Structure 1
Amino acid sequence: MLSLVALAVGAFAATNIDNLFVLLAFVAEARGRTGRVMVGQYAGSLALIAIAIGLAAMLTSLPPGYVGVLGVLPIGVGLAKAWARFGARNHANGHADDPALAGRYAGPGASSWWTVAGVAIANGSDNIAVYVPLYAGHSRADCTLITLVFVAMIGIWCAGAIWLVNHPLLGAPIRRYGTALLPLILLVIGASVIAQNNTLHVLFGL
């Protein structure tokens, strides 16, 4: 159970680092009135979870072992993020987690909850790519636990954003080291999905 909780926490954190900086902009914009930001973040994140559960349910008809092929999705996302972070185009793509860029989502006044939700959903392609194989490769009871962890992590993410807004100097090291760990976390999640479904043995006899 603890390993599954750790996997779910890692999946959530790895796919929501970028969104954290957008969330920081919304919280800063709200100037203490953060209720609508939290509602919007929950609404958008829960919508992504529901989409992932629905897609995973459609894949349950796959033969045992083949579900693990979906592990290539988080691995692919991790490799792409590694190239963006460390590759030749690092400087060209390095503004994705810049709070100043994230601020373009925030208008001159406090944003509505549905604006926050819409941005969370729009930034959710990575979430879907990681959540679907995670849900598809586990039992219904495990999926319930994963969902509960995700719901708790949404609250932690909102609380963390509020705390960081009050300590703006901490944003720079989080951007520097947090994004550097993203590719590794995603690669581990993808490999875990493949291993748990015994996919290499089913496909290649390994």
Structure 2
Amino acid sequence: MTALIITNIVSFVSTNLDDIFVLTIFFSQIGSKVKKTDVVFGQYLGIGLLVLISIIASYGLSFFSSDKLGLLGFIPIILGIKSLIDHKKESKNAVSSEDDKERVETQITVDNVGNKNILTGIIRPQILKVMFVTIANGADNIGIYIPLFSRYSLGQLVITIIIFSIMIAFWCFLGYKLANFPFIKRQLEKYKHIAIPLVFIALGLYIIFESGLIS
């Protein structure tokens, strides 16, 4: 039992070290649109799907090749470009008159109310954003999880899922603390309109090249 717990903790930490940085970026965006629970739920869904795919594949139902996983790298790239475009739009709105700003804010409020009614019972887009980036960033985890899980019994897989669930909570805690560390928080607040899109784009490029999709 002890060996199983240690193995699972080591495998989680070794495959998700870079995820701490990504979580820090997401937690730095907490505000009126993004909630802390969005990041946490998105992280659980993302890693949960990676684990589920690995379990299925470990039992001989492999339906993907490792290089094709590099296609997931386009997800953070698209999100990064979208962040740059959104910031540009916000900058244009900032130079408009006060009346225009009030009109835009009122319209946004009305739209948000309508969206909440339409999206009742559906996963928040902010959660999906975190989930997709988590999956893309952890695509290479599958290559480690598959051989690991293939040796486990059903009971050991259950224990593994419990341990991973605890580790995800701990990872979210670390990411949140880092995002609120005074120096890091000041720098992210100052440069996040540039840093966050660049981080996502760089992450996407890394995933694509690391997977061997582009050689």
Q: Which residue of 2 aligns with 1:13?
A: 13
> Which residue, 153, 156, 171 being the options, matches 1:142?
156
36, 47, 67: which is aligned to 1:45? 47
Paired AA for residue 54 in structure 1 = I
8 Å Cα contact 1:44-1:120 kept in structure 2: yes
What's the CA shift for 1:9? 0.6
- How far is the alpha carbon of 1:169 from its aligned partner? 5.3
**Residues 125-150 of structure 1: CA deviation (Å, up to 9, x unaligned):** 22101111111012111111111111
- Give, in whole Å, the separation in 2 of the partners of 1:105 and 1:6: 40
Q: Give the aligned length.
A: 130
Matched residues in 2 for 1:28 and 1:106: separation? 17
TM-score (structure 1 length as normaliser):
0.56
Any conservation in 2 of the 1:25–1:106 contact (CA below 8 Å)?
A: no
> Aligned in 2, Cα 1:149/1:161: closer, same or farther, shift over 3 Å?
same
- Structure 1, unmatched stretches of 5+, are 60-72, 74-100, 172-206
Residue 154 of structure 1 pairs with residue 168 of structure 2:
yes
Question: RMSD of aligned C-alpha atoms?
Answer: 2.9
Write the distance in 1 (CA, Å) between the matches of 2:81 and 2:2: 37
- Say if 1:29 and 1:106, in contact at 8 Å, map to a contact too: no
SS of alignment partner, residue 160 of structure 2: helix
Give distance in 1, aligned partners of 2:21 and 2:172.
Answer: 11
Q: 2 CA distance for matches of 1:52 and 1:145?
A: 15
1:115 is matched with which residue? 129
Give the match's secondary structure for 1:125: coil
TM-score (norm: length of structure 2): 0.54
Distance 1:138 1:105 in 2: 41
Percent identity, please.
31
Distance change (3 Å), C-alpha of 1:35 and 1:10: same
Name the CA distance, whole Å, in 1 between partners of 2:178 and 2:20.
10
1:167 is the counterpart of 2:178: no
